[in-house]
Chain A
Amino acid sequence: MAANMRGLTQFIADIRGARVRELEEKRINKEMANIRKKFKDGNLDGYQKKKYVAKIIFTYILGYKVDIGHLEAVNLISSSKYSEKQIVCLSFTGDGNSLALVQGYLAVTLLMHENSDFLRLVVNSIRKDLDENNEVHNCLALHAIANVGSSEMAEALAEDVHRLLISPTSMTFVKKKAALTLLRLYRKRPEVIPAVEWALRLVSLMDDQDLGVVLCVTSLITALAQDHPDAFAVCYTKAVDRLHRIGIEHEYSGIYTYYKVPAPWLQVKLLRLLQYYPPTEDMTLKNVLNETLQTIMTSSAEPSRNVQHNNAQNAVLFEAISLAIHLDTRSPLVDTAAVLLARFISSKETNVRYLGLDTMAHLAARSETLDPLKKHQGTIILSLRDKDISVRRRALDLLYSMCDVDNSELIVGELLRYLKVADYVLREEMVLKIAILTEKYASSYKWYVDTILQLISAAGDHVGEEVWYRVVQIVTNTEDLQAYAARVVFEYLKTPSVHESLVKVGGYILGEYGHLIANEPGYSPIEQFQVLHSKSQFCVAPTRSILLSTYIKWVNVFPEIKPQLINIFERYRHVLDAELQQRACEYYALACLPDDNEMLQNVCEEMPPFPPRVSGLTSRLNRKMTDTEDKRTWIHGGREINLEQQQMTTLVRPKQAELPVNDSATASGTADSAVLNALAGLDLTVPSEAGESAPAPRLTVGPSIDKWYQKLTYSAEGVLYEDVQIQIGIKSRFQGYLGQLAIYFGNKVSAPLTSFTSTIYVSDSAALSATFAKIPANVLAPRTQSQQLLQVECKKVFTCPPILTVSFLAGAYQSISIRLPVIVTKFSEGVKFGQADFFERWKLIGGFPREAQVVFPISLDAAGHIDLPHNRRIVSGNHFEILDGIDPNPSNIVGAAVLHTSVEGKVGCLLRLEPNREAKLCRLTVRSTSEEVATAVQRLVETALRME
């Protein structure tokens, strides 16, 4: 078919053959005129249309402007129908039809810009192709959407793409493309994707058989999870499970190994995804994760000779190290990582050195102890002289991060030495960093002043205003330092060439504290004046005005040089610069006042100390870091800064949730925190819980669900849930404050339930913890049962039972959320009392508020009697020891129990149940040493009794 397009072949040959550009243009003009004529005439068959559109595309690819043929391209897309009619007579049309389609799409993706009006025409054709069963057409449509990716398309088609992604009948490659298309649309228009709504369904795709699909879906989820961490929280387990299966169980097909590394891209993506979540609390997950990371690290310990193998291995390894650091800096894994990193930073390969330093900076930013890093300080300092600038930059960042009180002098000294030879692009940042480190870790003020002045004199132009402001602030606020500072500054000013910033510092400090050293030899007022004034002619107007202020201060403290100073004011009164002139005039008038006037003295009072203020330097540094696409999980600098940053993000997060969340929100987020940093003097650290708790899953409702649940509250085993596809059963055992639930999932259909996920939601994790013993398998074979062990621990009294959410794919996506029969009384244990004992305690506890009482109607059994055995079953099912013979009325029940909690200890609990047959009422009284327990137990028993 393609071979038959002779016109096209000829056209391309002609253009290729054109010797000069002008000839080429002529040929194209001619062809275009021809095509215009043909299109105008109309009546083209599919072949011709295709040929001409192909020519137009070729012309467009060559870089010529094309403004015709769009309509024809659009027509081509919908041509499949047309061609299908032809299929009977033309045997090759099946092929040709998709070719035409390819061309149509090619034309659309190439010729149309995002805002083209024609796109509206295309949307419907694309939707039709998405709906079709032909996966080739699906893919073409997906390509077109991803390439053009206009917002209009995103709005119209996101739903269809999503459907294609989750459809069980989609081929794997369609799924892959759909996932990536969705990612592209999300990046373009985040608001059109209902991420939260789709979250669970998307996450379930991470269990796909095909690693390629998993890779694509993980990319998508990584993007979405950054903005909606809570909605996608389930992916944590999935990611850990997948990593475990790849890394340890080697569950992957051979084609996914790349130079002996299994699915490196997927591993990297998963490891990265995990870093966007706070470290998990779940011990099982933690163990699995540690094991996996351990395996990755040990397997990468040996560098191979194959470059590609090394690359793949290192990619996974560095991500794994980052994750290990993110999870817990104290774990033995991090120690292993530190050893590995040490080897990397002295590697021969630039890339490895770079990554090594970067990851080490991460470690330094998070780690509590810097000791393992300090061993390699020499190597890192050497890296400052690396031949690659990006490596030098990383080394600088790392040194900045790993600086603390012990090594600050060494590091700052080294940085100062390096500053003189550093690249210009690095210098400004270096100056800032040195200034911050010097201030933060100054062991003595002398050292501080020495270093900073050395910095100013060495870096000169790269010193921002903030740096010298800060010096002045600190010197003013520290009285012991003033004389010393004045002396040192004076010495610096004596050198023949002095940078202007130093003149400013000198002017200020000598003006304020020059008199402190005036009596020492070599520092007399006239000498100070001469040295300072000799610099003034090289300075710009703002510096000179600072010097004028210095002089007026001197008029006050050094009357002996007053004539010289007045002379200078006199001269400056005629300067053209308005600011200087004004100052000179005012100071002149002030200086010429009679001696007995105290005006001058009052004006030139010594500066009061500055109010303590947070250094502006750090915020300046942070502002310089611009984050673009992927959010970073840490920033350079010490541990405190990172902790602070985390607080900031939790503060900012609720705001983000309200905003239409997109990537730019990241920028605004960091900008916000920068502002907050700058205002850090104010107390903004209000603890906020807003972002913390995830919304509770919505409970599944059904006629028998409540009944099943209630029954289980007072029995140890039974059915919790059942429908046509699945049955969930429970066996439970409680011992003190610990309990173990065996949950049985039974698949009742003849197809496997895939992507089987069960999660536990606990509303108050401080009171109750519930964890699965191991990560459940994600496939439930047909007509089988699987068991999962759930460990529960009662820490405090709680009221809400944990919620089990089970989701799986059985054709469609199903999700069931049900309460687990884990209630506070399950953790109690019956105790036996004699009558006297019981009443003594009963009285001891007393009435309200430690008593909870309720009267409620009851139903009688068939014979019209109180259903005593039933009541007894409920009370004992709630783990109360039934004490007979305490209450004279046999239908009354008296019980006692002790509740075990791991945090609050044991709580005693007494119960009386007094049914009344005539009134069909029942009174339930619970007394407990804890008010909460009393209320909670009373509610539980009451609900159980009422159910009948």
Chain B
Amino acid sequence: MISAFFIFNQKGEVLISRLYRTDFKRSIADVFRIQVISNSDVRSPIITLGSTSFFHVRVNNLYVVAVTKTNANAALVFEYCYRLISIAKSYFGKVDEEAVKNNFVLIYELIDEINDFGYPQNSETDTLKSYITTESIMSSAYAAEESSKITTQATGATSWRRGEVKYKKNEAFVDVVETVNLSMSAKGTALRADVDGHIQMRAYLSGTPECKFGLNDKLVIDKNERGASDAVELDDCRFHQCVRLNEFDATRTISFIPPDGEFELMRYRCTSNVKLPLRIIPTVNEIGTTQVSYTVSVKGNFGTKLSATNVVLKIPTPLNTTTVDCKVASGKAKYVPAENIVVWKIPRIQGGQECTFTATADLTSTTVRQVWARPPIDVDFQVLMFTASGLIVRFLKVFEKNNYHSIKWVRYLTKASGSYQIRF
């Protein structure tokens, strides 16, 4: 299991250092610094040196590192690291060097709480917040009372939810967020198209509500049960621990008692029948060795009522470009020499609308004629109320013994950042 845990800054200085077991000395941090941080060749998140394995996650120029000597479950170790990051985010917002330095006491408290002798423990933000606080100290009597509740809660059937929660207005928000990954060949065929989705829920419900959740009718979960061709197929579904899995296995219904506040109900992946929100047709011609001409058109491939916002196309230019002359009807285009790209920003594209970009890039001569590698065009965007996988929330029912009325909100968002790529 995890023997040591560190957070390093960009330069390799140790910000947080915790040894859970005695099989390492603090100097193991130097090994990581030398072997990983100062070695620019290392890209793998897992490095095994001898019998020692280093797992690291990079976030905002910080290295979050877990070290183990045993044959630990790598997925678990990474989950632990990511979980710590998300807890830290919910406690003090941004996770960067400054925040870590400012909150190092809290972080030590947290990493001691969520890990015991290297074994990960309850890492539910909600629960943790009940006894690890950043506010001023409560009266000791109250604290004692609270702490007794913690025990019952942590050991009870619903460890993720406190007993008596009261809201004046019972509301539940469901956000379906999908990230589209696309890599399209120069001929226009999709080499890879898939969707990473997660359903984020914010529940502000009194008492101990029992929720039932329904998705599309033609939903196929797991590959082995083949549905109709237009069905929505989800792979690799993963649920929050509150979801009753035996019930899901038996009847395919998602029922659960939600934790209080925000949590991630479900995560899934979809690889078939992906609806691509933006259609991009690039035409790039190299004219001799001195010029490259571009014609790139973007079309919104969704209902006319919807719109894509914050569309940014990063169109690569050859490395020996001198100037780029751009012409666009909508949005703004600009050559960014620092990254050898032309950035074309379009604030909004309505469904069915088509925008075109034409440009010519002038090149300078070079000593060694190199073939331009033609890296792909990168597109970032957001489309509200649209799911690339086609997933729709049919219903969300809340049963509570008080039988109160609850308001449910559903929102869809499809986005892409850095992974929607078109080759030309």
Contact = CB atoms under 8 A, between A and B. Distances in A.
Interface of A: 19-21, 26-27, 29-30, 32-34, 36-37, 39-40, 67-68, 70, 116-118
A26 B362 contact: no
A21 B362 contact: no
B339 interface: yes
Interface in B272-325: 320-323
Nearest to B362: A40
B338 A70 contact: no
Given A19-B10, A40-B362, A33 B368 contact: no
A117 B368 CA distance: 10
Contacts of A29: 337-340
Q: Quick one: which of B323, B337, B366, B367 has the most chain A CB within 10 A?
A: B367
Contact of B10 (A20, A36, A37, A118): A20
A30 B364 contact: no
Contact of A36 (B320, B338, B367, B368): B320
B338 A30 contact: yes
Q: Quick one: which of A33, A34, A40, A70 has the most chain B CB within 10 A?
A: A33
Given A33-B322, A36-B322, A37-B323, A68 B338 contact: no
Interface string B313-351: 000000011110000000000000111100000000000
The 5 A-B pairs with the shortest beta carbon distances in the complex, nearest first, are: A33-B337, A30-B338, A67-B366, A26-B338, A40-B322
Contacts of B340: 29, 33
21 contacts: A26-B339, A27-B338, A29-B338, A29-B340, A30-B338, A32-B337, A33-B321, A33-B337, A33-B340, A36-B320, A37-B323, A40-B322, A40-B323, A40-B364, A67-B320, A67-B366, A67-B367, A68-B364, A68-B366, A116-B367, A117-B367
Contact of A30 (B61, B320, B337): B337
Given A26-B339, A29-B337, A36-B322, A21 B40 contact: yes
Contacts of A27: 338
A118 B367 CA distance: 8
A19 B366 CA distance: 30
A525 to B, nearest CB: 57
A34 B337 contact: yes
B151 interface: no
B359 to A, nearest CB: 15
Contacts of B370: 67
Given A29-B337, A29-B338, A67-B320, 18 more contacts: A19-B10, A21-B40, A26-B338, A29-B340, A33-B322, A33-B337, A36-B320, A36-B321, A37-B322, A40-B364, A67-B366, A67-B368, A68-B364, A68-B365, A68-B366, A70-B367, A117-B367, A118-B367
Nearest to A69: B367
Q: Quick one: which of A19, A29, A117 has the most chain B CB within 10 A?
A: A29
Contacts of A26: 338-339
Nearest to A70: B367
Contacts of A40: 322-323, 362, 364
A585 B61 CA distance: 75
A33 B322 CA distance: 6
Nearest to A111: B367
A39 to B, nearest CB: 6
A153 to B, nearest CB: 17
Nearest to B368: A67
Interface string B345-382: 00000000000000000101111101000000000000
Contacts of A20: 10, 61
Contacts of A117: 367
Contacts of B362: 40
Contacts of B10: 19-20
Contacts of B321: 33, 36
B335 to A, nearest CB: 8
B188 to A, nearest CB: 30
Contacts of B320: 36, 67-68
A38 to B, nearest CB: 9
B364 A36 contact: yes
Contacts of A32: 337
Contacts of B368: 67
B364 A39 contact: yes
Contacts of B365: 68
A70 B367 CA distance: 7
Contacts of A118: 367
A894 B364 CA distance: 97
Contacts of A36: 320-322, 364
A737 B340 CA distance: 91
A487 to B, nearest CB: 53
Nearest to A20: B10
Q: Quick one: which of A34, A40, A117 has the most chain B CB within 10 A?
A: A40
A68 B323 CA distance: 15
Contacts of A30: 337-338
Contacts of B61: 20
Contacts of B323: 37, 40
Contacts of B367: 67-68, 70, 116-118
Nearest to A25: B338
A117 B339 CA distance: 30
B378 to A, nearest CB: 16
B230 to A, nearest CB: 44
A36 B10 CA distance: 33
Contacts of A34: 337
A27 B368 CA distance: 23
Interface in B165-215: none
Nearest to A23: B338
Nearest to A40: B322
A19 B60 CA distance: 13
Nearest to B340: A29
Nearest to B323: A37
A67 B368 CA distance: 6
Contacts of A39: 322, 364
A70 B366 CA distance: 8
B289 to A, nearest CB: 13
A32 B323 CA distance: 12
A27 B338 CA distance: 6
Nearest to A26: B338
Nearest to B324: A33
A39 B321 CA distance: 12
A37 B339 CA distance: 15
Contacts of B339: 26, 29
B353 to A, nearest CB: 33
Contacts of B322: 33, 36-37, 39-40
B288 to A, nearest CB: 15
A780 B392 CA distance: 109
B169 to A, nearest CB: 47
Q: Quick one: which of A27, A34, A37, A116 has the most chain B CB within 10 A?
A: A37
A844 B370 CA distance: 96
A669 B10 CA distance: 58
Contacts of B337: 29-30, 32-34
